[in-house]
């Protein structure tokens, strides 16, 4: 056993080669790996590093009781998800109290829109904690599509697609470069906001950007508005490009 | 020789362990490594991966004739820097024409405010090109300081400190979470914009975030406004934190 320590480990956007040397070392050293997923589904973060997990390592599967079925602001969602994070933190704390190190696997970067943050705020005051930065999904996506996203004096903005349409429109018009995340059922709204802000022609739709079955195309060329939750839209900046 | 290919390689924010497996593989396979630096200075990107460079690998040092001595909008800056990128692209093209692969080392992530983008737009139409995403300096910084930067419906904005003070103030007031980059001689202006937008109390100053001599402290606790170019300020979001 390597001692009580909570470690948020960014495992990158999906390509198993976009894992850092530091994440690899932690996977070799840690006693327990914890991973989030939707109930009934495998963990994406776990599958990225599956081939690097030590045989016999203790695994702690943290399964969301609810994801996008309920609105995020509904009292039922808040009470269910709050209880889930409390319970997950308690399970991790039990391992830390037994002097085991616990690595929480995180897609992308742990402290950038990641579920891990809910464990960090519950546990970091009581236990030694380390966070290992990872390559974000958006970096993986613009790199795979070869699109320079922002340069020089560009203002770059990340917008959750869950924002109201008028907010999306206003902010898209006001940013040099933007990424719209969490598309899912919001793609039709995002398309309208891009059109109204005059950015639709530049927008690139990316799904599973760094995996072999990646899909990338101009959003204007997409005929329907079906999208998975983790798909995103890139709106490149660098208007002064030579 | 491994064939003509231009590869933009993100080597992460500074900690040599925050390099990806993919970057490591490319460093083993490539014929030439190219790296940017200010004239008379060593390349930061090269020093991050120095211990992984093959003995005898061909190195191409690309040295900026000017960095922050001239305003970015001045005609002299534009002509000097344009000629520099043209010349750098020609040197790389000569290697590609000789069927050598060329890896351009990039601090952070190549297509996120990186100098590599100027080579990509000059060469990608003529040669096979690949971009390998890296951990950004800002991810390295918030991870090292353990600060959850953005969550849920947060709008996250990256602001170059070179923007006019009123623009910084307006955009800081309008974002849930923000990072102000390229501090250098702009820190006094950034401090005033944070104060005016009511965000100074939350702002964290970070210098060399992922290196052993990292400096992190609340900006309000800093008594002077001296800062290196690559220092940044984090303004965390997640106002709904439980």
Write down the ipTM of this complex. Answer: 0.95
Comparing CB atoms, the residue among A85, A120, A133 nearest residue B135 is A133
CB-CB: which of A20, A120, A154 is closest to B17?
Answer: A20
| Binary contact (A17, B20; C-beta < 8 A) | yes
Q: A150 vs chain B: nearest CA distance in angstroms?
A: 5
Read off the pLDDT of residues A171-226 as tens digits, 9 standing for 90 and up: 999 999 999 999 999 999 999 999 999 999 999 999 988 888 899 999 999 989 99
Tokens 């464990």, located at residue: A119
- Judge contact between A233 and A203, C-beta under 8 A: yes
Residue A67 pLDDT exceeds 80: no
pTM confidence score: 0.95
Higher pLDDT, B124 or A75: B124
Contact between chains at A133 and B157 (C-beta distance less than 8 A): no
A52 touches A46 (CB < 8 A): no
> What is the predicted pLDDT for the residue at A65?
85
pLDDT of residue A1: 58
CB pairs under 8 A between A and B: 182
pLDDT digits (tens, 9 = 90+) for A14-47: 999 999 999 999 999 999 999 998 888 899 999 9
Between chains, do A109 and B143 touch, taking CB under 8 Å as contact?
Answer: yes
**SS3 assignment, position B230:** coil
Give the minimum alpha-carbon distance from A30 to chain B in angstroms, rounded to a whole number: 17
Contacts of A86 in chain B (CB under 8 A): none
d(C-alpha A204, C-alpha A191), whole Å: 11
B25, B27, B28, B30 alpha-carbon torsion, rounded to 10°: 110
Closest by alpha carbon to B65, among B40, B44, B42? B40
Q: How many CA atoms lie within 13 A of A154 on its CB side?
A: 21
Residue of B nearest to A26 (CA): B17
- Mean pLDDT for the stretch of residues B115-133: 96
Mutate which of B153, B167, B209 to test chain A, going by most A C-beta atoms within 10 A?
B153
CA B82 to centroid of chain Cα atoms: 19
Please check the confidence at residue A126 and state whether its pLDDT lies above 90: yes
C-beta separation of B109 from A143 below 8 A: yes
CB within 8 Å: B10 and A155: no
pLDDT at B105 exceeding the cut of 90: yes
Of B15 and B209, more confident: B15
Strand partners, A8: A104, A131
Task: Write out chain A residues lying below 8 Å of B24, CB-based.
Answer: 21
Contact A140 B133 (CB under 8 A): yes
Among chain B residues, the shortest Cα distance to A21 is held by: B17
Q: Is the pLDDT of residue B240 over 80?
A: no
CB B36 within 8 A of CB B11: no
Predicted pLDDT of residue A80 = 87
d(CA B179, CA A139): 16
- When CB atoms are compared, the residue of B10, B25, B139 closest to A109 is B139
pLDDT in tens, B27-66: 999 999 999 988 888 999 999 999 999 998 999 999 988 7
| Alpha-carbon torsion, ordered A180, A181, A185, A191, to 10 deg | 10
According to the 3-state scheme, what is the secondary structure of A86-155? HHHHHHHHHHHHCCCEEEEEECECCCECCCHHHHHHHHCCCCCEEEECCCCHHHHHHHHHCCCCECCCCC
For residue A114, the chain B residue with the least C-alpha distance is B151
The C-alpha atoms of residue A54 and residue A62 are separated, in whole angstroms, by 19
Q: Round the average pLDDT of chain B to a whole number and report it.
A: 93
Give the pLDDT band of residue B78 (cuts 50, 70, 90).
confident
| Residue B156, min C-alpha distance to chain A (Å) | 5
Cβ neighbours of B119 (radius 10 Å): 25
Q: Give how far B86 is from chain A: nearest CA, Å.
A: 11
Contacts of B37 (CB under 8 A, 6+ apart): B43, B44, B46, B61, B62, B63, B64
- Which residues of chain A form beta strands (DSSP E)? 5-10, 32-38, 58-64, 101-106, 129-132, 156-160, 177-181, 204-207, 215-218, 232-235
Q: Is residue B242 pLDDT above 80, yes or no? A: no
CA distances A78 to A67, A72, A207, Å, are: 11, 7, 28
- State percent of chain B over pLDDT 90: 81
Split at pLDDT 50, 70, 90, the class of A242 is: low
Q: How far apart are CA A96 and CA A130, in angstroms?
A: 13
Q: Which residues in chain B are closer than 8 Å to A160, comparing Cβ atoms?
A: 152-155
Percent of chain A with pLDDT strictly greater than 70: 97
Which chain B residues have a beta carbon less than 8 Å from that of A22? Answer: 15, 17-18
Q: Is the pLDDT of residue B95 over 70?
A: yes
Residue pair A211/A237 in contact (Cβ under 8 Å)? The answer is no
- For residues B116 and B74, the model is more confident at B116
Tell me if B155 and A171 make a contact (CB, 8 A cut-off).
yes
């Amino acid at each position: 056993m390597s001692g009580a320590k909570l470690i948020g480990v960014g495992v990158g956007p999906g390509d198993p080669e976009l894992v850092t040397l530091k994440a690899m070392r932690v996977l070799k050293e840690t006693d327990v790996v914890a991973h989030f997923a939707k109930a009934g589904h495998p963990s994406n973060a776990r599958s990225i590093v599956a081939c690097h997990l030590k045989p016999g390592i203790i695994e702690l599967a943290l399964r969301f009781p609810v994801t996008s079925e309920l609105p995020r602001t509904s009292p039922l969602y808040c009470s269910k998800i709050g209880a889930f994070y409390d319970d997950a933190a308690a399970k991790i704390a039990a391992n830390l109290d037994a002097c085991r190190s616990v690595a929480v696997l995180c897609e992308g970067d742990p402290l950038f829109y990641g579920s891990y943050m809910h464990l960090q705020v519950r546990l970091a005051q009581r236990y030694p904690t380390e966070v290992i930065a990872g390559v974000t999904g958006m970096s993986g996506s613009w790199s795979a599509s070869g699109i320079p996203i922002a340069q020089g004096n560009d203002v770059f903005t990340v917008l959750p697609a869950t924002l109201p349409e008028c907010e999306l429109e206003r902010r898209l018009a006001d940013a040099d470069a933007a990424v719209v995340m969490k598309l899912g059922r919001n793609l039709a709204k995002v398309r309208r906001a891009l059109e109204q802000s005059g950015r639709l022609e530049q927008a690139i739709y990316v799904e599973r950007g760094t995996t072999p079955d990646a899909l990338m195309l101009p959003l204007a060329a997409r005929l329907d508005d079906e999208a998975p939750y983790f798909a995103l839209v890139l709106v490149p900046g660098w208007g002064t490009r030579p």
